[in-house]
Structure 1
Amino acid sequence: MPAQVPRGRPRSFDTEAAVERAMDVFWSRGYHATALPDLLQATKLSRGSLYAAFGDKHSLFLRALDRYIADALTRMDGELAARKDPVDGLRTLLAGYVDRTSGASGRRGCLLVATAMELAGRDTDVDLRIRRFFEAMEVRMAGALSRARDAGKLADGVEPSSAARILVCFVEGLRVVGKTGTTPSASQAVADALIERFIK
Structure 2
Amino acid sequence: MFFSNTDRYICAVEFVAKSESTRQYIVESTSGIFNKQGYAGTALSDLIEATKLSKGSIYGNFENKEAVAIAAFDYNLSQVQQLIQAKVGQFDGYKEKLLAHAQVYHSFEQTPFPEGGCPLMNTGVEADDTSEVLREKAAAGIMSWMNSLATLIENGMATHVFRPDTNSSETATTIIALIEGGMMMSKVTHNNSLMDGIVSVIGELIERISNPNES
TM-score (norm 1): 0.81
Distance 1:174-1:124 versus aligned 2 partners, 3 A rule: same
Shift of 1:106: 11
Shift of 1:151: 1.7
- Which one-letter code corresponds to 1:44 in the other structure? K
2: CA distance, partners of 1:111 / 1:103: 14
Query: What's 1:136 paired with?
Result: 144
Query: What's 2:181 paired with?
Result: 173
- Which one-letter code corresponds to 1:192 in the other structure? G
Shift of 1:173: 1.2
Query: What's 1:152 paired with?
Result: 160
Distance 1:182-1:70 versus aligned 2 partners, 3 A rule: closer
Query: What's 1:196 paired with?
Result: 207
Query: What's 1:3 paired with?
Result: none
Query: How many aligned positions are there?
Result: 196
- Which one-letter code corresponds to 1:199 in the other structure? S
2: CA distance, partners of 1:77 / 1:108: 20
Query: For the Cα contact (< 8 Å) 1:80–1:144, is it kept in 2?
Result: no
Provide runs of 4+ in structure 1 moved above 6 Å: 6-9, 100-107
Query: What's 2:51 paired with?
Result: 43
- Which one-letter code corresponds to 1:27 in the other structure? N
Query: What's 1:96 paired with?
Result: 104
Deviation per CA, 1:152-193: give whole Å up to 9, x if none. 111353111221111121221122122121415433322322
1: CA distance, partners of 2:25 / 2:114: 24
Query: CA RMSD, aligned part only?
Result: 3.3
Query: For the Cα contact (< 8 Å) 1:98–1:174, is it kept in 2?
Result: no
Identical amino acids, percent of aligned pairs: 22
Deviation per CA, 1:46-67: give whole Å up to 9, x if none. 1111010112211100111121
- 1:54 counterpart SS class: coil
Query: What's 1:34 paired with?
Result: 42
2: CA distance, partners of 1:86 / 1:147: 8
Query: For the Cα contact (< 8 Å) 2:83–2:104, is it kept in 1?
Result: no
TM-score (norm 2): 0.76
Query: What's 2:81 paired with?
Result: 73
Distance 1:173-1:107 versus aligned 2 partners, 3 A rule: farther
- 2:61 counterpart SS class: helix
Task: Provide structure 1 residue ranges, at least 5 long, that are not aligned to the other structure.
Answer: 1-5
Structure number with higher relative contact order (C-alpha < 8 Å, ≥ 6 residues apart) = 1
Query: What's 2:29 paired with?
Result: 21
Query: For the Cα contact (< 8 Å) 2:84–2:104, is it kept in 1?
Result: no
1: CA distance, partners of 2:115 / 2:142: 22
Shift of 1:94: 0.9
Deviation per CA, 1:58-98: give whole Å up to 9, x if none. 110011112122333344444556x9322111121110022
